[in-house]
Amino acid sequence: MSLGAYGLIPELARFIDKHQDGDTVPEPGIALGGTTYGNALSLAGARGMLDEVATPEGHARIAELGVRLADGRDGIIARHGLPWRAFHYGPRPGFCLMPEFPRTYAEAIRSVHADFYNLRHTYLANRGIWDAIVSAGPQVSFAHSEQDVDRYIEVCAELIDEIAAA
C-alpha cells in the first residue's frame, strides 16, 4: 500500500534530500512522492488497514501461512531429491537452489537462476497465480487463505514434476 503522509526530523530530511531517486540523479536512491500519496482516501485506507487487518493476529496468521508454503516447497524438493532448500522469512518463502542456505552475498548469488525464475513466474501466471517479484517468489498477504497456499503448492509441484520429467 502506497502511503506518503510523513514528518521528518531535520537530520533525516537532509539525508533524504541527498539520496533521492529520480530521473535527474546518476544513482538509485530513496523514492518518494506521487500523485496519490497523502490524500484523504489513502489515509482512510491506511487507517482501516492498520486498525483492522495488519494487526498482530493478522501478521501471525500470514507468518503461519508462510511456514505452510515453505513446508510445501520442502516436500516437493524432498520428493524429487533435489539439492535445494526452501526458506521463509515470515510470510515470504522462496527457493534456495543450493543444499545449504547462503551466509553471504557471494554464496547467495550462486543460487540465482534467471531461467528458473522466469519459467516459474510464467508457469504460475498461466495457471492464475501471480508471483509479484520474479526473483523472490511469493509473498503471502492478508488476503490469502490456506486454500490459496495449498493451490500454490499444488501448481508449484506440477512445475517441478514437469522439470524433473524432462
Q: Are residue 80 and residue 26 in the same domain, yes or no?
A: no
- The CA-atom distances, in angstroms, between 12 and each of 7, 8, 27, 106, 166 are 10, 6, 19, 32, 54
Identify whether 5 is part of a domain.
no
Q: Are residue 96 and residue 30 in the same domain, yes or no?
A: no
Q: Which cell numbers hold the place of 87?
A: 526458506
Compute the average pLDDT of residues 50-62. Answer: 95
For residue 20, which phi and psi values (nearest 5 degrees)?
A: -75, 145
Rounded Cα distance between 100 and 106, Å, is: 13
Identify whether 158 is part of a domain.
yes
Domain that holds residue 44: 10-53
In the chain, the percentage of residues whose pLDDT exceeds 70 is 86
Number of domain units in the chain: 2
24 vs 52, residue with greater confidence: 52
Q: Are residue 19 and residue 80 in the same domain, yes or no?
A: no
Res 137: pLDDT: 75
Res 18: pLDDT: 82
Q: Are residue 16 and residue 46 in the same domain, yes or no?
A: yes
Identify whether 101 is part of a domain.
yes
Domain end marker among 35, 53, 71 = 53
pLDDT in tens, 101-157: 999 999 999 988 999 999 999 999 999 998 877 777 788 999 999 999 999 999 999
DSSP H or E run through 96: strand 92-96
* This prediction's pTM: 0.73
81 vs 24, residue with greater confidence: 81
Q: Are residue 63 and residue 116 in the same domain, yes or no?
A: yes
7 vs 55, residue with greater confidence: 55
Q: Are residue 23 and residue 82 in the same domain, yes or no?
A: no
Q: Which cell numbers hold the place of 113?
A: 537462476
pLDDT in tens, 16-28: 788 777 666 667 7
Q: Are residue 146 and residue 79 in the same domain, yes or no?
A: yes
pLDDT in tens, 89-104: 889 888 899 999 999 9
Is the CB of residue 84 less than 8 Å from the CB of residue 98? yes
Rounded Cα distance between 163 and 157, Å, is: 10
Q: Rank 41-55, 68-82, 101-115 by mean pLDDT and report only the highest.
A: 68-82
